[in-house]
Each structure stands twice: as structure tokens, then as C-alpha cells.
Amino acid sequence: MKVLLVTGGTGLVGNSVKAISKEYIDKYKFIYISSKDFDLSLFDETKAMFERYKPHYVIHLAACVGGLYKNMNNKVEMLEKNLIINYNVVKCCHDYKVEKLISCLSTCIFPDNVTYPIDETFLHNGPPHYSNYAYAYSKRMLEIHSNVYRENYGDNFICVSPTNVYGPYDNFDLEDGHVLPALIHKCFLAKENNEDFVIRGTGSPLRQFIYSEDLAKLIMIIMENHNDNNLILSVPESHEISIRDIGRLIAKSYGYENRIVFDSSYSDGQYKKTVSVEKLLSKIGDFKFTNIENGIQKTVEWFVKNQSSSL
């Protein structure tokens, strides 16, 4: 049986891969790695991981990630830690003759000043938004690193670029979490304390959000069937939604819709990052995406049930 190793295996997407893995249990032995198992910022520990498990396939999800304000306030950490982790994993995948490596980028690393919708060809066509350029360039280097191994050695190393991912097992930290999970936590506290549900910024930015289990299913489809580099993994453009409406859906799931306040003294970040999934759908055909309202409801229910251990 082939060994499929998942770095970042206890995070948002890693847990979603685990949730759907029963569909593949006869084909792969899944190994889920967290930072408690191996420190991938250390080459010797990364090498020890590969030596122990000798994976045939790797899904590389491990990263130093965070929301808008973490990206803005921790640029050195976001750049250096991700560069080191990605170098170590890609290098070991080559050295240990991994048959296929899928690494996750993000649509937030694409250029800021572009026409919309963004497609896969845009990645290196200009600088990313100033708010997350350190993280963005570290991820762009991961794509370049994978490409040169493909070109020089024929390694089947590919990258995928998910849009904003959400779901159970997310990072719900108020400061370091991405916008949707942070708002789920913030609304929970506002209701608990009978306070206004304050959303930073005007609420006007537009985003495409993909439910984590949908993303896991797409990654496994690509693992088994496709070798194109840098596919964008997202819901269609028609599913784009404002942060204002995301806040309202979250508040609705708590029954707390009448206490929403927008604090426009905070930065909105990039207004929109609309991406095209034309290439993805041309490869995989029709795909049933989770409705955003249902996805938020599931995520809120998970958070409320697990909130003491999810922060």
C-alpha cells in the first residue's frame, strides 16, 4: 500500500483530508504530521520524517499562516519560516524520490493590480498586495522551487492555489486567525457578553470562500488524476461574497443579527481577489460546492462545541 504523508496534518485542511480519507483507505496509508511530531523548519527533523515514513506521495499543507493583521505585523516570521519549511520539504521530496508532491499556495499571493478574474497565468505578473507581500513571496518561491525540480529532474511536484478556506479545526484566534474564523469567535464572545459584534473595516471587500472538506476532495481528485501545475481551487465567481454579508451570516447562525457594528478605522486590506475556476472545472467537470450559509452553520456548530480546545 502506498504511503501518503500530509504535513500540517492536524490543521484545517489536514483534518478535512482525514475526514474524507475513508474513501481512499484501500489505496493509501495516510500519515498526518503536525509540528508536535517534527519541526519542519529544521532540515534534520524534516529528513528524519522522510526517513521514518518513506512516503510515496506528499500533500504539503504545513505553513506559518494568519490573517490580515498577522501578515502585516509579522513579516519577517512569515517570510523566513515559510521559506525554510518549504525548502526542506521540497528538497526531501526529491531526495527520497517521492512520486508526487502537491503543495498548497494561496490565491492571496497573486498580484494586486490586475484585471479580474485572476487565472493561473497571473501568478508572477506583478507584486502582491502590500499587506501580505512577505508571506506571498515565500509561497511564490515554493511554486518556483517545485517548477525547477520538474524542469531539471522530471519530478512530479505541483502546486495548487486555494482561495479563502474555512471550516472545522480552523484557527479561531481573534488576532492571528483568518477573517471568517476570527469573526465566528468574535461573535460568540459578543453574544456571551451581551456586547456589539464589532467587525473591523467597512465590510465592503469581496472574497470567495471554500469549505475545507470541498478543498480536501479537490486535492485528492488532483492527486489521483491530474498533474497540471498551479491549479486555482475555489468556488466559482458567482459565489463571491462581501465581508459584510459573511458577518451577517455568522451573526444569523448565533441569532445575533441586530448587534453588528463596522469599525471603519481599521484597514479593509485588498478590496477583491476574484479568481477564475475555468481551468479547474475543465479538468474535473461538475463539482458540488458546499453552500456558504450551510458551511458557516457547520463551522459555528463545531466551534461552539469545541471552543475551549480550538483557540
Helix (H, G, I), strand (E, B) or coil at 263: strand
Q: Is there a cis peptide before residue 117, judged by omega within 30 degrees of 0? A: yes
Per-residue pLDDT of the chain (311 residues; tens, 9 = 90+): 999 999 999 999 999 999 999 999 999 999 999 999 999 999 999 999 999 999 999 999 998 776 655 656 678 888 999 999 999 999 999 999 999 999 999 998 999 888 999 999 999 999 998 888 899 999 999 999 999 999 999 999 999 999 999 999 999 988 878 889 999 999 999 999 999 999 999 999 999 999 999 999 999 999 999 998 889 999 999 999 999 999 999 999 999 999 999 999 988 877 888 999 999 999 999 899 999 999 999 999 999 999 865 55
Burial class of residue 80 (count of CB atoms within 10 Å of its CB; 0-12, 13-18, 19+): middle
Q: Please give the positions annotated as active site.
A: 135
Query: What is the pLDDT at residue 38?
Result: 97
The DSSP line for 27-54 is TEEEEEE-TTT--TTSHHHHHHHHHHH-
What is the rounded CA–CA span in Å between residue 187 and residue 299?
13
Looking only at the bridges linking them, the beta strands covering 2-7 and 57-60 are: parallel
pTM: 0.93
CATH for the 2-166+209-237 domain, from 3.40.50.720, 1.10.10.60, 2.60.40.1180, 3.40.630.30? 3.40.50.720
Query: What is the pLDDT at residue 127?
Result: 93
Residue 173: CB atoms within 10 A of its CB come to: 16
What is the rounded CA–CA span in Å between residue 237 and residue 88?
35
Q: So where are the chain's domains?
A: 2-166+209-237
Hey, which residues does 261 pair with through a beta bridge? 198
